[in-house]
Amino acid sequence: MAGRRLPVFLAGLLLISGCASAPSGDDASADSSPVQSSTEGPTVAGPTASPLTSGTPESTPAPRPAELPGGGQVLLPRYRLCGYVGSPGAPGQGRLGVGDLGERVSESQEACAPYAGDRQVMTVMELIAVTVMPNPGADGMWRHRTDPAVIDSWLRVAREHQAMLLLDIQPGQSDFLTEVKALEPYLSQPDVGVALDPEWAMEPGQVPMQSFGSTTGQELDAVASYLAELVERDRLPEKVMLYHVLHPQIVGDESALRPHPGVVLIKSVDGIGSPADKVGTYDRVKQAVPPYVRMGFKLFYEEDVQTSGVLMTPEQVMGLDPRPDYVMYE
């Protein structure tokens, strides 16, 4: 996602653009230290299992499993996920980077209300937690890891609004599983999931902003398997693993991504353009989707309007086949 300014020749080639470009590269080497990876976990408090009651070991009940922000442990079909994406102080990366974060979340809840249909809307805040960079940085990974204090603050706001926090990963020359594991203190929480951005998963020799990245079903499956282990270990509610795509070829051998207990797999279509172009991209991308992967759809306040003069309405988005389980505005 981040910043979304791809070279003109790539945009013309695909008639779509990707999930945002990175911030300027001067600070890439300044923050290549790992995201908080100690076992202490995030510093903010949030939904947890109920405390043990007093009594003898024989009479003490087991802790109750943690629940989703809106209650329960199962996401679908009870909820439809909808929200904004962004990064602090980076308006080009999405609406959540503009102004007061809490105000933007409230704004997103208003924008997402028409998507309820026969469900409840689960508010989503998608934070670009690992951002691809235009230079390799000190460790040569071409990515910047967000300060854990920023993630803490966003998680705090998410909980104030009963929202789910998705941590978006643009791995550069790193890999998805490595970056996901670095975020384990957050992913062990019941209201945090991941969004993977394979457009920015570079092969050796590829340079971000000059090439489109890609991934494979095997790589995605490794992440899903890891998340399933966390869900089982920590008695968590269902956890979202989303992956953004621009065109069908961005994920190779997608059938190697298998279903995993406790993990909701969602494929979000991020094409930019007129409503007709966006629907066409959605229809092409959905052809390769395994039956256990749900569909998502992304709208761009600036690029869609700049390209075609209009932004698709909730009625148009809800008319897609299949109807998206996830809708994101940038």
Residue 91's CATH number: 3.20.20
Q: How far is CA 325 from CA 72, 75, 201, 330, in A?
A: 17, 10, 25, 17
Residue 36 lies in a domain: no
- Whether 35 is covered by a domain: the verdict is no
Residue 1 domain-assigned?
no
The parent domain of residue 87 ranges over 8-27+66-329
Please determine, for residue 10, whether its predicted confidence score (pLDDT) is greater than 50.
Answer: no
Structure tokens at 222: 């490794």
Q: Is residue 234 part of a domain?
A: yes
Is residue 282 in a domain? yes
- pLDDT value for 266: 98
pLDDT band of 209, cuts 50, 70, 90 = confident
CA-based angle 37:22:1, to the nearest 5? 80
Q: How many domains does the chain have?
A: 1
* C-beta neighbour count of 134 within 10 angstroms: 17
CA distances from 140 to 13, 183, 274 (A): 29, 20, 38
Largest alpha-carbon pair distance within the chain? 70
Residue 75 forms part of a structural domain: yes
pLDDT per position as a tens digit, 34-92: 444 333 445 544 444 333 233 333 444 556 679 999 999 999 999 999 999 999 988 88
pTM for this entry: 0.83
Residue 200: inside a domain: yes
Does any domain span residue 41?
A: no
